[in-house]
Amino acid sequence: MKMESRLAQIGSLEDPATGGVSFPVYHATAFRHPRLGQSTGFDYARTKSPTRSVLESAAAELESGDAGFACSTGMAALQTIFALFAQGDHLLVSLDLYGGTFRLLEKIMSRFGVTASYVDTNDLDALESSSRPNTKAVLIETPTNPLMMVTDVEKISAWAKAKGYLVIVDNTLMTPYFQRPLEQGADIVIHSATKYLGGHNDVLAGLIVTKGEELSKEIAFLHNSIGAVLGPQDSWLLMRGMKTLALRMERHRDNALRIAAWLKEHPAVAEVYHPGLPHHPGHDVQKRQCSGDTGIFSFKMKDARTIEPILRHIRLIAFAESLGGVESLMTYPAVQTHADIPEEIRRAVGVDDRLLRFSVGIEHVDDLIADLDQAIQAAEREIGGGSR
């Protein structure tokens, strides 16, 4: 079946006892054994739970993987993956990186002797020069958050495989509807499922999908041992959100591209970072490896003084963290999502005090543009003058 049909039918054929088209929420944490040495396949909910299992199977199938694992948050999913590595191991990681991932690596994994080098993962020379004898994996965000840098997953996967490195791809911003990194050579895909997969700003979750029997067994062991698993109610909410993923991603993409193009021509805006725009340096790679574009992008104002009044004057758009929900959200990365990254590193990458990140929702695009326009005009009046 096509992706749209598979999404809409998640869980609808999994309850033959009742024929329920919405899979039930099983709150049970313990399950009866028929007799000694026999199991129904469910023993204890941390290890395996009926509602979570349906979600995990759907995630694996959508990403063309062999196994799926639902975690309590996206960060819990990352921590489960990082538990693959041991003291002395080294990782190559995307240069422009979500602040929470940087914090986990630098403030927690470093305590256990796991180190990371931050590299433009689309630059083979930079990756080669940053590689060490103890390098074990490449962790890629594509596009990155918030500057939307794009990595050629197939090219980097081939390079990494030749060296025996695992390839881990954060696919949060694209979802399996638009991008499937396991089909392009990656070993592990991770999602902050709180974002586009859930889609309604009402469920906190993470997903891991693996390729290969041995790797899947290893992650299954870590998932059970660490225990940061997703509960049944949240598993059901996530499945419900995923059923409309195709419809939502189409609207997110269309709205974002139109607004990004409008901002690109705005006299108060210095730069727009969206890989769907032809001027973006990763546009051709994005077009080749994805079937569509994400609904999130960033833009940089010419004058940093406009940032605070813009955030104060937006009305329909909410000044709030997170992304990927049906409601439009605007974030100031320098003091919110990327505050844990040292200022000199942020500025070197381009995450400075003029940058705003916009998660475009499914509202009518004309209303969103009107809201942005009035907020920018109000900001320009406040700082005295303006570009018009």
Q: What is the pLDDT of residues 4-26, one digit of tens each?
A: 999 999 999 999 889 999 999 99
Q: What is the mean pLDDT of the chain?
A: 95
- Is the pLDDT score of 235 beyond 60? yes
342 pLDDT higher than 80: no
Catalytic residue among 6, 15, 46, 161: 46
CB atoms within 10 A of CB 220: 16
Of the candidate ranges 179-193, 315-329, 338-352, the one whose mean pLDDT is the lowest: 338-352
Give percent above pLDDT 70 in the chain. Answer: 98
Please enumerate in sequence order all residues whose Cβ is within 8 A of that of 115, keeping only pairs 6 or more positions apart, or say none: 89, 90, 91
Two tokens at 213?
Answer: 């029997």
Q: Are 261 and 26 in contact (CB under 8 A)?
A: no
Q: Domain spans of the chain? A: 3-242, 245-383
Active-site residue (options: 96, 152, 170, 293): 170
Of the listed ranges 133-147, 191-205, 338-352, the least confidently predicted one is: 338-352
Mention the CATH class of domain 245-383. Answer: alpha beta
Average pLDDT rounded to a whole number, residues 73-86: 98
pLDDT at 213: 98
For every residue of 203-239, which 3-state class applies, written as one string? CCCEEEEECCHHHHHHHHHHHHHHCCECCHHHHHHHH
- Whether 170 sits among the annotated catalytic residues: the reply is yes
Catalytically annotated residue among 48, 195, 211, 248: 195
Task: Decide: helix, strand or coil at residue 12.
Answer: coil
Read off the pLDDT of residues 174-186 as tens digits, 9 standing for 90 and up. Answer: 999 999 999 999 9
The residues with which 67 forms a beta bridge, in sequence order, are 210
The pLDDT confidence band at residue 384, using thresholds 50, 70 and 90, is confident
CA angle (42, 48, 50) in 5-degree steps: 70
With cut-offs at 50, 70 and 90, classify the pLDDT of residue 239. very high
- pLDDT of 335 > 90? The answer is no
Rounded to whole angstroms, the Cα distance separating 165 from 160 reads: 5
Supply the pLDDT for residue 348.
73
**Cα(60)–Cα(1) distance, rounded to whole angstroms?**
15
- Locus of tokens 């990186």: 97
Q: Is the pLDDT of residue 343 over 80?
A: no
Give the model's pLDDT for residue 340: 67
The mean pLDDT of 274-290, rounded to a whole number, is: 97
Task: Identify the pLDDT of residue 351.
Answer: 86
- Statement: residue 135 has pLDDT above 60: yes
- 195 is a catalytic site residue: yes
pLDDT of amino acid 316? 98
pLDDT at site 47? 97
What's the one-letter identity of residue 72?
S
Predicted pLDDT at 102: 92
SS (HEC) of 33-101: CCCCCCCCCCCECCCCCHHHHHHHHHHHHHCCCCEEEEECCHHHHHHHHHCCCCCCCEEEEECCCCHHH
pLDDT-wise least confident of 221-230, 302-311, 338-347: 338-347
pLDDT of 387 higher than 60 = no
pLDDT number for residue 113: 98
Pairing label, strands 166-170, 135-141:
parallel
Q: Per-residue pLDDT tens for 93-121?
A: 999 888 899 999 999 999 999 999 999 99
Assign 249 a pLDDT band (cuts: 50, 70, 90): very high
> Which tokens hold the place of 320?
């709030």
The topology (CATH level 3) of 3-242 is Aspartate Aminotransferase; domain 2 (3.40.640)
Single out the catalytic residue among 98, 177, 196, 332.
98
Segment 146-174 mean pLDDT: 97
Dihedral angle, C-alpha 15, 17, 20, 21, nearest 10 °: 40
> Would you say 59 and 245 are in contact if contact means Cβ atoms under 8 Å apart?
no
3-242 and 245-383 share one CATH topology? no
Q: Which residues pair with 191 in a beta bridge?
A: 207
Per the CB < 8 A criterion, the answer to whether 103 and 340 are in contact is yes
Tell me whether residue 44 is one of the annotated catalytic residues: no
Does the annotation mark 248 as catalytic?
no
- For residue 385, is pLDDT > 90? no
